[in-house]
Amino acid sequence: MSRLDPFRPDGSNRVVVTGMGAVSGFGLGLARMWEGIVEGRSAIRQTSRSFDALEVTRPAATVSGYEPAEHFSNAELMMSEPFSQFAQIAAREAIAQAGLEASHLGDAAVILGCGGGGEQSREDAARQLFGNRRPRAHPTTVPRTNHQAAVGLIAIEHQILGPGFVIATGCAAGSHAVAQAAMMLRHGYAQVALTGGTEANVLYCAMRAFDSARTVATDTCRPFSKDRSGFALGEGAGLLVLETMSSALQRGAEIIGEIAGFGMSSDAGDTLQPTQRGPVRAVKTALQDAGLAPDDITYVSAHGTGTQLNDRVETRVVREVFGAQADRLLISSTKSQIGHTFGAAGGLELIATLKGMKEGVVPPTANYLGPDPDCDLDYVPNEAREIRINAAVKQSFAFGGVNAALAVRRI
């Protein structure tokens, strides 16, 4: 594809979304995820994982109905982990929805977020090396576990020669990846980018690790609700096709929405305890970058993990950023439906936000039992709400105090 947009030091290329693909606890495809979301259902269920004679059961949203052999050959499965497979499937859907042909993809960027990478192969290697006392790991352990495997496999499948890398900032990785991709398109380093996040770590070791941090729910994830007890693990992938506005218009592509602005920050406080100042800085920067005022925003897609502390702090963040406008905002967390997908969360939750903008529907916060005195905003409890969304904010706040916010608007 010939270059339409010159390199622009001023970053003046506008960036739009033309395709989306999803793998979630509701199954494969955006249609299944969106149907589950608007119906107010939750894909979270009690899930057991074992390691030798040990077993753990916790609430989690695993990908429903997934049969790897239906999507990949035996040779491909030998070299890939579920986190890579989910990304490839979501990429196929996003590329198809965008109507991209091979000629559009050669110079594209592939920038993904991922928190854990190939956790399943690491767990299998530990079982063989330490449990069964075998002298060596499986020879495909290294290529399967590398975080960048998902990027490499997507590039191979679609013959993409442009920039490719993975951002590993935990729960904020997907949103950081979208911000980085948008930045590259703004400045003309690419015209098309595949971005978002992927994760597959509903495994024994991960469950035990988060148990130790006392962040996993006892029953289910109920963000901002009274009697909430933590998050539920989730897996899947959410990938988006971003394009410069001129590229999308030249192709006659359908524009889903615009990545209008983004903000990133660090708490510089505590590795586990969130603060207000870091997230506030990220959200304010995203609004400023987008040229949007607080009263332009209709909906906030919250980080909304369902832990006691996170939800209290996030409520205060919204009040500090939006001031008097906070009480009229609609706020929800799709983690109540698809679980906390960590590196995939930013991508999947942004997709739900953009789909809601397109359809005029705000996703609900499922499993809501009633108000908590410290969480006193409109969290769209249990039922989706029909309303026109002209602009929205997606918030992602990760362990370690790293934050990202994305501002999107209707075209």
User: Which residue blocks in 254-388 are alpha helix, DSSP H?
Assistant: 277-290, 308-322, 335-338, 345-359
Annotated catalytic residue within 114, 147, 171, 375: 171
261-409 and 15-251 share a CATH fold? yes
Average confidence (pLDDT) over 119-145: 87
- Residue 1 pLDDT greater than 60, yes or no: no
pLDDT of residue 4: 60
User: Which residue blocks in 23-118 are alpha helix, DSSP H?
Assistant: 30-38, 74-78, 82-98, 102-105
Per-chain mean pLDDT for the chain: 95
Six token digits for residue 393:
């904010």
Answer with the residue of higher pLDDT: 195 or 135.
Answer: 195
pLDDT digits 0-9 by tens, 161-203 = 999 999 999 999 999 999 999 999 999 999 999 999 999 999 9
Annotated catalytic residue within 114, 176, 303, 375: 303
pLDDT digits 0-9 by tens, 74-103 = 999 999 999 999 999 999 999 999 999 999
Six token digits for residue 287:
């609004």
- Residue 121 pLDDT greater than 90, yes or no: no
CATH number of 15-251: 3.40.47.10
pLDDT of residue 126: 86
For 165-181, b/e burial (b = at least 16 CB within 10 A) is: ebbbbbbbbbbbbbbbb
Q: Which of 300, 275, 288 is nearest to 378 (CA)?
A: 300
Task: Please give the CATH superfamily to which domain 261-409 belongs.
Answer: Thiolase/Chalcone synthase (3.40.47.10)
This prediction has a pTM of: 0.96
Indicate the domain borders of the chain: 15-251, 261-409
Average confidence (pLDDT) over 241-256: 97
Place of tokens 């993809």: 105
Six token digits for residue 274:
């969130």
Answer with the residue of higher pLDDT: 375 or 51.
Answer: 375
Q: Tell me the residue ranges of DSSP E strands in 231-333.
A: 233-234, 236-244, 257-266, 299-301, 330-332
Annotated catalytic residue within 176, 221, 340, 375: 340
pLDDT of residue 357: 98
**Is 340 assigned a catalytic role?**
yes
pLDDT of residue 212: 87
Q: Quickly state the pLDDT bin for 6 (edges 50, 70, 90).
A: low
Q: Quickly state the pLDDT bin for 129 (edges 50, 70, 90).
A: confident
